[in-house]
Chain A
């Protein structure tokens, strides 16, 4: 049983005035795959190091299971930090490559063999245990590297951008491998990435971090359908959600020459958020868009254009048909699909409308 709990956990680096991680409250369930995501410098690595015991906690607590580990040294936390470096050693067999960290940790030979075999079975590498890495395919090598972490049998895995130096193809492949393996093992995992697509495809739940503050925790679906604020709305999903200034009107919000329905009580200035796939093109209703460029991607395409609201120009992205679409320089109108409008408070940025559910 290993849950992980951050209870108002705070880290203020010496010589700085703003905490890098600011009163984080987060509970990772036993066996859960939690992804920490956010832009560079938001505090992901710091959070992970705090959990590993490699960063001082200046306020709050950290628990693994029911045990308060805030002041427990790293080696006594039963956590495995998976390094970015996935290099395999060419002269060592697959078994040695998987077991060497145990040797360093002083684990006895019989137990090493047992754990390596167990991991190899899980990873379908049993028949290669006495072979060298050069005998393996690319995917198998990635699995050997994973085996290296598995044999340590920790209560919690920590991974900090483990895929960042793989090329796009291997990255997608390894993503799937890691998450399916994690599910089979059922070991609680905290995974850090700055890539929201990676977060959405891998995590049971995702915690979005910005400037050391937790913005929202939820399933990929929660974040997509009901982003808690403008930041999450703009960060999750690609191409990004359109966020445009508007005004609340009775029963909805203003949208160019039209008003669209929205379930809000607010008055005055608001921000409306509409995903590119939730906008439709028409001749004369809604917001007037000048087309800058259309990117054709087979059946679909994306129209990149701009709109002018209260004399200020804003960029806008609209999903269009891949063949039958407006051309560069055209002026068209767009309207949101009904009920697919997110509304945010203009000053706080917080969500004030209900979820957008398909």
Chain B
């Protein structure tokens, strides 16, 4: 029985219908496909342009496509950082009526990068650490809402620049399960998967000759355990306080806020003889600073960017404090007098280099360096001009990224064609290439 094409989508996307669903994805014409770097994957995944935005299409089994689509929708509803599901396409057939695999369509996450696009020549230790740390934070957030991932890896994570560090997004949810809460064993299981996958991915980069010599793949992947455990305990451990130490409650709240988490509920219980108090925070999702910034200014940013912008806002507030204004009013003044002029100064043709909040962060950083160098307070407008002229215009576009540099700011970097963009084929065994010299394999394991 040959079925008919069936598209399930959350919103009407007429453009979806005009894609060549009757052709296997790996044969789609070049003018439909947008070539962007991606992580290693078992399924065929390609990008295409759809009415003004880019989509990622993954060919997979019917069950998986449907399951992952629904899982991503549930995750979106609870505001987990993950890719946005667009549609499931089922009942595909080619022109002769032979069935083709189902497809999951997600929206390409703007300004995001697969980890293989985060370095140009070699992956540096600081970058590797930041990647692992941001993945640890993502995993803590996911576990905190009861999501078991089942396939934690650098390839299954997308990274966005976040004021000198990275914000991690989940991209591959096909093995995921959502429960009320996870058991220690379920969390341990995910961590073990993460550890093995990260080590494997780093060893692969090493084998490709692109890993900084100072990085030990195993030690770096072990880092996710420590990084995760620290965060998890800070978030979830109860604390036992003496009656006269109640001020420590505030400290705990502050620490959690600094880590970016908000507290929804703080249960405080006195023990039987009334000398000790047990506090147990119930943490809501991270994004404390991002939420505050959004509330004050309407700016939607990553957590560290928000921290940075709020610092600047607070500094600005101090300069206008004599006026005794409401926080909201000060925020509005800062937005219109400080933030927006900086962003407006960026010429339109450089718009897609970086997100506005990241530009602002980098300008602040740039000003700091200029001031150091010239031993004077460089005014913001001067810093902006210098930044655009000497830094921003040399960066590559990151709205749809192609191998960007890693540092917070960098001068011109050559575009490197990524041979990592690799797909398995079923061709006859090819002759040995230059990258496969005859060696004793025992030296390799």
Contact = CB atoms under 8 A, between A and B. Distances in A.
A56 B441 contact: no
B218 to A, nearest CB: 6
B60 interface: yes
Nearest to A73: B188
Contact of B40 (A55, A87, A100): A87
A193 to B, nearest CB: 13
Interface in A50-92: 52-56, 74, 81, 83-92
A95 B445 contact: yes
Nearest to B150: A84
Interface stretch (A131-139, A279-287, A350-358): A131-139
Contacts of B179: 13
A26 interface: no
A49 B444 CA distance: 33
Contact of B445 (A74, A103, A168): A103
A85 to B, nearest CB: 5
Interface in B159-218: 174-175, 179-181, 183-186, 188-189, 192-193, 195-197, 199-201, 203-205, 207-208, 218
A92 B193 CA distance: 19
A96 B206 CA distance: 11
B429 A100 contact: no
Query: How many B residues touch the partner, as a band?
Result: 35 or more
B183 A56 contact: yes
B200 A130 contact: no
Contact of B441 (A49, A93, A102): A93
B218 A103 contact: yes
B348 interface: no
Nearest to A90: B422
Contact of A96 (B201, B425, B438, B444): B444
B183 A91 contact: no
Contact of A167 (B41, B101, B150, B435): B101
A55 B184 CA distance: 7
Contacts of B41: 87
Given A138-B426, A165-B61, A55 B205 contact: no
Nearest to A151: B445
A314 to B, nearest CB: 24
B200 A89 contact: yes
A84 B175 contact: yes
B197 A85 contact: yes
B95 interface: no
A101 B430 CA distance: 27
B424 A104 contact: no
B444 A54 contact: no
Nearest to A50: B185
A90 B196 contact: no
Contacts of B189: 49, 52, 54, 81
B429 A91 contact: no
Contacts of B425: 134
Contact of A100 (B64, B174, B175, B200): B200
Nearest to B201: A89
B337 interface: no
B435 A14 contact: no
Given A49-B186, A93-B444, A132-B435, A15 B181 contact: yes
A49 B188 CA distance: 11
A209 interface: no
B42 A137 contact: no
A86 B203 contact: no
B376 interface: no
Given A89-B200, A104-B195, A135 B207 contact: no
Residue of B63, B101, B424 with most partner-chain A CB within 10 A: B424
Contacts of B196: 83, 101, 104
Pick the most buried of A49, A134, A137: most chain B CB atoms within 10 A of its CB.
Answer: A134
B428 to A, nearest CB: 8
A165 B188 contact: no
A109 B17 CA distance: 54
A348 B195 CA distance: 48
B251 interface: no
A244 interface: no
Interface string B432-445: 10011011111011
Interface string B39-53: 011110000000000
Contacts of B155: 87
A116 interface: yes
Contacts of A90: 40, 204, 420, 422
Most buried by B among A101, A135, A138, A168: A135
12 contacts: A49-B186, A52-B189, A53-B185, A56-B185, A96-B203, A100-B199, A103-B445, A116-B441, A132-B436, A137-B429, A165-B64, A168-B61
Given A81-B189, A100-B200, A130-B438, 12 more contacts: A15-B180, A90-B204, A91-B205, A96-B444, A98-B445, A102-B445, A103-B218, A104-B221, A116-B441, A132-B435, A134-B425, A165-B43
Interface of A: 13-15, 49, 52-56, 74, 81, 83-96, 98-104, 109, 112-113, 116-117, 129-138, 141, 164-168
Interface of B: 40-43, 60-61, 63-64, 101, 150-151, 153, 155, 174-175, 179-181, 183-186, 188-189, 192-193, 195-197, 199-201, 203-205, 207-208, 218, 221, 420, 422, 424-426, 429-430, 432, 435-436, 438-442, 444-445
